Structure 1
């Protein structure tokens, strides 16, 4: 099993154990691949949810650019809901897990078709 496969398994476990979600492994794999090499960098692989600038990056780079959503308060609400579901006190919120949950929240799985 390659390094990426190990990381995908870790992300799937986070979805199951911390978020109570049974992941669609095909979609999770596509989301993870879409994150590019950032998944191998400890700092870039996580979302610092306590930093407003980081959440703005998730909104602009992922929700608006990648998923093609329009900027609205609903985006901030969704990000907060995902962070809440992951656990605010959870230190390592993996970017692919956050992106996966946002993708499912907005029903934008077609972005990875």
Structure 2
């Protein structure tokens, strides 16, 4: 599946950083190869838990209470409510942006994002 993930991210963050998008695509890896696994269903409690545990806690290293992290996930989901399908690259980008952590993926403020 060839897709320009940046186009979807830019619907919600018009000045999205391409380096950060590419870093998130690398993070997502093989899961982006199949449409079903590249999407996130925020109405599925297990998927919200997976995003919280795997991305927010494990990858971003956040230690906020689960309820606060879940509220952040749902707030980003609310921003994306116009899309029936929510792709994981866009969700993760918006969450990293929300928490000011795009630099972890080569975005602004990172060594890879300067230049």
TM-score relative to the length of structure 1? 0.83
Q: Is the 8 A contact 2:20 2:103 kept in 1?
A: no
Q: Which runs of 4+ in 1 moved over 4 A?
A: none
Maintained 8 Å contact 1:45/1:94: yes
Please give the root-mean-square deviation of Cα atoms over the aligned residues, in Å: 1.6
Which of 16, 29, 38 is the aligned partner of 2:22? 29
Q: For 1:29 and 1:106, how far apart are their aligned partners in 2?
A: 18
Q: Which has the higher contact order (CA 8 A, sep 6+)?
A: 2
Structure 1 residues not aligned, in runs of 5+? none
Matched pairs, number? 105
TM-score, normalization by structure 2: 0.82
